[in-house]
Structure 1
Amino acid sequence: MLNSLLLGTLGGLISGLSTTAGAVPTLFRKNKGSNNLWKYVSLDFTLGMMLAASAFSLILPAFRGVPGNA
């Protein structure tokens, strides 16, 4: 039990740190005038990627949980 908990926690920390490392460059980019288009596009891309990853990782277990599906 402890081994499973430790591995799950470690996996969650690694994925969280990876997401943070991917988003950090968008936060420290120098603003060139009043146009923050690069920042908004980068943050939107990061958000979309995380939403897609979480949604697609939940689809297969949801189908497996429905009785009568293989």
Structure 2
Amino acid sequence: MSKPDDLYRLHRLLDGRRSTISRQTLIDELEISRSKLTRLIASSPSCALPLTEPAGLPTKPGTPTSKAAG
């Protein structure tokens, strides 16, 4: 599919959601690779927040996890 088509499908999945959706769910629903999903989100005009992994997981291999002060 073309990039505009993928952006439209991504928007349709996210529009109006009141709960989180995992990256893996997006990958499965859109049938695209993780890297393509990352590029789509980064290029989306409505994307104002950085991509993050679930709490406690590194965003890139080799990145230390952040521990909450307690």
Q: TM-score range by the shorter chain?
A: under 0.3
> Which structure has the bigger radius of gyration?
1
More helix by share: 1
Give the TM-score taking structure 2 as reference length.
Answer: 0.25
Give the TM-score taking structure 1 as reference length.
Answer: 0.25
